[in-house]
Each structure stands twice: as C-alpha cells, then as structure tokens.
C-alpha cells in the first residue's frame, strides 16, 4: 500500500501563502467592498459536530420567491419558476460536488462521480470531452452573476448550460436587505436571467437568496484564526452547503487537493494560477480549513481521490 502524502492542513494560515497572495488578501481587507462590519466571535474553534450544527442552523439556503419584496411584481411572476426549488429537486440521497480544479485532470473519477444520485457542477465547467475525469451527469449547475452578465452570449448559446437545474448567485453587501441588493447587484444580471428564461422557459432556473452568503461567511470567520477576506465565499463553498441541505451524504471532489494538486486553475483550461486553489478574492483557504475540519472521510481518500465526505444536514443531530 502506497504511503499517504501530505493533505490539506486544517490550520492553514495566510503566513504560508506566497507573498503576492498575502498582499492580495490585505488589499481586499482594506477595500472592504461589501461593508462588512464583523463584531462577532473569532477563533471559536468548535468541534466538528458543533460546527456542523452551526452550519445547519444558521445558514438558510433559499431561492428568491415572489414573496421577496421587489420580485413580487407581475413582470417577475412571468420569469421566476412556477415550481419551488424544493419541489423541483426533492430529497436527494448520495450527492457529488465537483470542483473545477485542475487536479481533476487524469483523475479517472468520472464513473465514481456518476454513481451518485445527483451531481453539482460550477460555472462553465464542461463534461463533454472530460467524462473520464469528471463524469457526465449534471443535476444542478451553480453559476455566478459575473458569468451570466459578462459572458451573456456564451451563457445563452452554449449547450452545456441546458442540462439540469440552474442556480445563479450574486454578491450582496453585508448588511443589505433584498431591496437594496436588487437595486445594486454586484453584476447587473437580472436582464440576462430574463433573457435565458425567455429562451429556455422549460428549464428550472433559480436565483439564490443572497442572505446565505454572509450567514456562511460569519461562521467561516468565527472559526478562523485570522481575519478572512471580507468577500463572499466561493461558488464551491456555496455549492457544498447547498448540497448538504438537499442530500443525505455529500462527496466533494478536488476541493481539498489530492496528490494531483497543480497550479492549473481549471481542468478544462490551460490557464495557470495558484490563487484558484488558495484563494485571492474569496476566503477560499479558510473555506478549505473548515471543510477539512468537518470531513468524515479519510486522509487517504483526500490524497488519492481529492475526496471529502460530508453528512447532509438531515443526518446531523444537534
């Protein structure tokens, strides 16, 4: 049996980042674009069990509905899906979350990923041409508002977006209510959302209620030993929490890097950037520390498959 190499350290610190990434983190803290005023606890290093309970009880994962202030207009009635998100997905059993990391390349994890009842993918991550490594099933795709807005033409045309349930998320100010966020979203994605809904009216497509970003961020900050970037969690972390609310069990692939760790950003591009794995804008390093802390799988699974196993919130007893 091969020896297990080093896996993600749950106490990873920004001190060990390359200097330019330390600087990027400091710049984001000085900028504080979302007006985060955090007064809560810090360094509350909870046990994995308590941390799971905090995540279960304090992060409220919901989709925008007609009852959400500005979305109550007759115009929005035509665009928001008629069926609620929970009715559309139902309760899921074993789920897979597929990060888009470069370390998925040559992983041959495709079959294992597809053996799950549901698979979550992110942004523009393709399956065609990469089935052997990432599988071909897509149950839910979580996309950010930047992609939907800045790459609107691709988003409306590329067939990869036509599979499964779509969810878009957009960063909101720390204290903002839905009204304020609606008036000033980070990216003005509402028109693209409507255009997509007109083009593909049959495909379920939801808008994530932005409240959850900061509910989750607070818990990440509370459980970190230093100040984390005052920016929303990454799509990857939002997706992990989303699936923990829907599934009995969640296997996450290559969020914590395996022995294949690389500075290649995505498995589907040639672009090299170490920040994709360690975080620049997003508090990604601290997200990974928390995920390592609550992992119920083995270090060997992380090392060989980049695999972390988390319980669904239905299975968490507090």
Binding status of residue 277 toward ligand C5P by CB under 6 A: yes
Q: Return the number of the residue (56 or 121) whose C-beta is nearest ligand C5P.
A: 121
Choose one: 207-215, 223-231, 233-241, 298-306; the region binding ligand C5P (CB under 6 A).
233-241
CA 122 – CA 281 distance, rounded (Å) = 17
* Concatenated DSSP letters of 8-67: --TT--GGGS-HHHHHHHHHHHHH-TT-----S-------HHHHHHHHHHH----B--TT
Choose one: 33-41, 63-71, 232-240, 241-249; the region binding ligand C5P (CB under 6 A).
232-240
Distance of alpha carbon 209 from the chain centroid: 14
What is the contact mask toward ligand C5P in residues 115 to 144, using x (rule: CB under 6 A)? Answer: -------xx---------------------
Q: Report in angstroms how near the CB of residue 134 gets to ligand C5P at its nearest.
A: 12
Q: Return the number of the residue (207 or 265) whose C-beta is nearest ligand C5P.
A: 265
Helix runs in 125-224, H state only: 131-134, 145-150, 152-157, 178-183, 190-199, 211-222
Q: How many of the chain's residues bind ligand C5P (CB under 6 A)? A: 15
Q: Return the number of the residue (221 or 261) whose C-beta is nearest ligand C5P.
A: 261
By CB under 6 A, name the one of 61, 64, 265, 285 that touches ligand C5P. Answer: 265
Which element (helix H / strand E) includes 253?
Answer: strand 247-253
Binding status of residue 185 toward ligand C5P by CB under 6 A: no
By CB under 6 A, name the one of 14, 100, 209, 295 that touches ligand C5P. Answer: 100
Q: Please tell me what DSSP assigns to residue 206.
A: E
Binding status of residue 221 toward ligand C5P by CB under 6 A: no
**CA nearest neighbour of 104 among 261, 240, 301, 286:** 261
Q: Return the number of the residue (14 or 235) whose C-beta is nearest ligand C5P.
A: 235
Choose one: 52-60, 83-91, 186-194, 235-243; the region binding ligand C5P (CB under 6 A).
235-243
CA 11 – CA 8 distance, rounded (Å) = 9
Binding status of residue 235 toward ligand C5P by CB under 6 A: yes
By CB under 6 A, name the one of 164, 236, 306, 312 that touches ligand C5P. Answer: 236
Q: Is residue 83 within 8 Å of 248, Cβ to Cβ?
A: no
Q: Is residue 231 within 8 Å of 282, Cβ to Cβ?
A: yes
Q: At what angle do helices 211-222 and 48-58 cross, to 10 degrees?
A: 160
Q: At what angle do helices 211-222 and 284-294 cross, to 10 degrees?
A: 70
**List of residues contacting ligand C5P (CB under 6 A):** 99-102, 122-123, 234-237, 255, 265-266, 276-277
């Amino acid at each position: 049996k091969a020896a297990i190499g080093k896996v993600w350290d749950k106490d990873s610190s920004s001190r060990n980042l390359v200097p330019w990434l330390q600087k990027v983190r400091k710049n984001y803290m000085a900028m504080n674009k979302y007006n985060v005023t955090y007064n809560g606890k810090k360094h509350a290093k909870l046990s994995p069990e308590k941390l799971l309970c905090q995540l279960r009880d304090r992060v409220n994962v919901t989709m925008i509905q007609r009852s959400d202030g500005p979305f109550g207009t007759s115009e929005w009635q035509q665009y928001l899906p008629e069926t609620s998100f929970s009715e559309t997905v139902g309760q899921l059993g074993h789920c897979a979350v597929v990060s888009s990391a470069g370390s998925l390349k040559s992983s041959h994890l495709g079959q294992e990923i597809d053996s799950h009842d549901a698979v979550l993918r992110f942004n523009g991550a393709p399956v065609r041409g990469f089935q052997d490594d990432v599988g071909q099933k897509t149950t839910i795709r979580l996309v950010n508002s930047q992609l939907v807005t800045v790459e609107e033409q691709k988003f409306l045309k590329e067939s990869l977006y036509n599979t499964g349930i779509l969810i878009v998320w957009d960063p909101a100010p720390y204290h903002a209510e839905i009204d304020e966020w609606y008036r000033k979203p980070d990216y003005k994605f509402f028109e693209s959302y409507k255009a997509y809904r007109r083009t593909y009216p049959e495909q379920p497509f939801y808008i994530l209620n932005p409240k959850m970003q900061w509910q989750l961020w607070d818990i990440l900050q509370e459980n970190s030993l230093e100040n984390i970037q005052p920016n929303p969690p990454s799509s990857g972390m939002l997706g992990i929490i989303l699936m923990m609310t829907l599934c009995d069990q969640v296997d996450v692939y290559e969020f914590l890097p395996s022995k294949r760790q690389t500075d290649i950003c995505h498995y589907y591009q040639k672009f090299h950037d170490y920040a994709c794995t360690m975080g620049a804008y997003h508090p990604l390093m601290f997200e990974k520390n928390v995920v390592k802390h609550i992992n119920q799988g083995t270090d060997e699974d992380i090392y060989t498959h980049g695999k972390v196993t988390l319980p669904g919130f239905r299975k968490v007893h507090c």
